[in-house]
Amino acid sequence: MSVHVIADTADKRAALHAMLREQQAVTSELLSGTSPQCSEVDAVVVTADLRSVENITALKGLSANIAHIRKRIFLIDQKERLFTVQAYALGATRVLISPVKRASLLAQLADSIPRENSSNDALHGAGEAASAGAIAFGAMFSAVLSGKPIDVRGAKDAGSRIADSIAEDGLSSWIEAVRRHHEATYQHCLLVTGVAIDFGLSLGLAKKDIERLHSAAMFHDIGKARIPLAILDKPGRLDDEERALIQTHPAAGWEVLKGSVGISPEILDAVRHHHEYLDGSGYPDALCAASISDIVRILTISDIFAALIERRTYKPTMPREKAYEILQGMHGKLEMPLVAAFRDVALNR
Ligand SMILES: [Fe+2]
Ligand SMILES: [Fe+2]
């Protein structure tokens, strides 16, 4: 595997170079805002202090130049979540906190996947749309954490790009590309958006309705920016207190978005109500069937399915067939004719 290192100081550059050179073909350079010399590498490792305005500016300039590299690991100096989401907004596919152990970095570099060959255009196209989506989610979460305005236009554009990718390359390529390169919350948001779009396409929805659907999906979990990562990423079961906290995310998302230009009442409704069930057992408002719109019903099915098929490091990935069986068992909660219509999306597309 070939790796290119970009560092904000000579010391960090030398240390990383030394750490990697035995097992990888390594090149390196200093972060300076110039175009990096890394057109043909398998991975790029970027290490920089994100408190520095100069570094952020240089990394912004760099992000388009490294976007084609399938693995983009950012090492950051601060543990705060704001810096992590900023790294994702700058194009990271993985973020690690410095100092990083050699074994962990090598494991991240080795994790998964031979280089995609050029004949697999579908996967390549899906990978690029997924990267654009992940950058939009990083920017959104970063805006929430720092109290800045959300780039609604940017998120909607990323949603349109995902819709184009799904229409062109299909849902299976999308799921594969997203599972390969993205983790946790962003993986989930990308999967939900892709699944919802494909569900909309399979239902024959008009272009305008598909746009509504992917906008709702892009924003649906924005409230998770307010939930501590220790809870969001906790492997295994949550206790009652943790579950109560996680259940605040739909209302938190609604709160965050309600004043934003470009957010329609129907997106706000979807953000607030994507965990409601037809029998009134959902949250936060315990709505019953009559108050739950079609777009929310479609989003809820897509959301549950996407959550079930996510790739997690601590458990095997659930097959799509098994995830669909679980949806079929949710009588009373989901609209069963819609679940039946979802069959083709879940299993075949
Ligand atoms: Fe949610
Ligand atoms: Fe979700």
In this predicted model, what pLDDT tens digit does every residue of 245-300 receive, in sequence order? 999 999 999 999 998 989 999 999 999 999 999 999 999 999 999 999 999 999 99
CA dist., res. 64 & res. 60, Å (int): 8
**Tokens standing for 231?**
């809870």
Instruction: Give residue 112's pLDDT.
Output: 52
Ligand nearest to the CA of 306: 2
Instruction: Give residue 118's pLDDT.
Output: 40
CA of 123 to the centre of ligand 2 (A): 24
Question: Which residues are placed with Cβ below 5 angstroms of ligand 2, an ion?
Answer: 221, 303
Instruction: Give residue 37's pLDDT.
Output: 66
pTM to 2 decimal places: 0.83
CA of 221 to the centre of ligand 1 (A): 5
Ligand nearest to the CA of 284: 1
Tell me the pLDDT tens digit for each residue of 196-229.
999 999 999 999 999 999 999 999 999 999 998 8
Using 50 as the pLDDT threshold, list the residues of the chain that sit under it. 113-119
Ligand nearest to the CA of 184: 2
Ligand nearest to the CA of 273: 1
CA of 87 to the centre of ligand 1 (A): 23
CA dist., res. 228 & res. 272, Å (int): 19
CA-based nearest residue to 141, from 62, 88, 184: 88
